[in-house]
DNA sequence: GTCCATGCAAATATTTTGCAGCAGT
DNA sequence: ACTGCTGCAAAATATTTGCATGGAC
């Protein structure tokens, strides 16, 4: 499947390779953040043999291109997801490790307050909730 | 310096060692999260020779005892800080890597909304802002 | 003396880098 | 053919574990 992101990259002179398109395709069709390892495993399962090094390199490349974003959660491993989606946050089950995206309406006041009290040039924020999911209770 | 945390641990039958008291003391007197490596370096600088393994083990121990908390930021390394402080969040400079604690008044609505839309048993949340600090601008 | 805590070495996990060869354009 | 991309191996970094010794009580 050829996505807009892929076409954009191609227009910029980058190549459309199997690794790139399958990693991008996977991230685009997944509704929660993935780690390098999980991407590797999923691709292997669906028959795409890609070296883990390539995954790391591709993730770094996609980060540079601002096509994906890094999500820090409570593991050592970093998670990644497609950027430019509806602004959202994360909800992680501390028992099974599953992660869910959530959209909140009420964060406006928070951002305003933040801009009022800080002299930083704030570019982004991350918000995550942790608890136990219904299945693990 | 002998802190309340240390006395509490002692009461529970754990020992008051130099590594434990200096790590605890450092975390208690630092107003931003630290990594295992940074703790190691600071202790070395002030003349406390402690193996990095001990630091990791002590951090794990203090986590179990709920005396400290794990803070996930955008690095690979995990940060830690004393728990039970005034509820606060973090502001990180993406240029120099410095981290500042911040207290916000306006997050109540956010938490209410979260509890309304989710069936998870939510126990905690983390909120971090990223941008450029005045010194790095 | 007991048993928790520590150091050292080594294992494991995560991420990065060098280099030669492969492949998209 | 050009040059970006990939695989493999190895390095670098972060974290964990085994075991014998040391130290707090």
Burial class (CB in 10 A: 0-12, 13-18, 19+), B101: middle
Strand order of the sheet with strand B121-132?
A: A99-102, A89-93, A121-132, B121-132, B89-93, B99-102
Instruction: Yes or no: say if B6 and B16 are a contact pair by the CB < 8 Å rule.
Output: yes
Contact B105 A113 (CB under 8 A): yes
d(CA B102, CA B79): 16
Collect all residues from A whose CB is shorter than 8 A from any CB in B. Answer: 70, 72-76, 78, 91, 93-94, 102, 104-107, 109-110, 112-114, 117-134, 137
As given in the structure block, the two tokens for residue A24 are 């991008």
Strand order of the sheet with strand B79-82?
A: B34-35, B79-82, B68-71
Question: How is A7-22 classified by DSSP, letter by letter?
Answer: HHHHHTT----HHHHH
In total, the C-beta contacts within 8 angstroms joining chain A to chain B are 112
| Domains of chain A (ranges, CATH numbers) | 4-82 (1.10.10.10), 89-131 (3.30.1490.190)
Residue pLDDT, tens place only, A14-69: 999 999 999 999 999 998 899 999 999 999 988 888 999 999 999 999 999 999 99
Residue pLDDT, tens place only, B88-132: 999 988 777 788 899 999 888 889 999 999 999 998 898 999 888
């Amino acid at each position: 499947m050829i996505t807009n992101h892929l076409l954009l990259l191609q227009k910029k002179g980058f190549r459309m390779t199997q690794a790139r398109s399958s990693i991008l395709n996977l991230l685009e069709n997944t509704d929660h953040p993935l780690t390098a390892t999980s991407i590797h495993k999923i691709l292997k399962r669906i028959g795409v043999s890609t070296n883990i090094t390539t995954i790391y390199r591709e993730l770094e490349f996609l980060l540079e291109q601002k096509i994906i974003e890094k999500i820090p959660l409570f593991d050592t491993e970093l998670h990644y997801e497609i950027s430019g989606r509806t602004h959202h946050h994360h909800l992680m089950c501390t028992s099974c490790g599953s992660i869910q995206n959530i959209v909140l309406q009420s964060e406006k006041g928070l951002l305003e307050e933040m801009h009022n009290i800080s002299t930083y040039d704030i570019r982004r924020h991350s918000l995550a909730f942790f608890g136990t999911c219904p299945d693990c209770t």
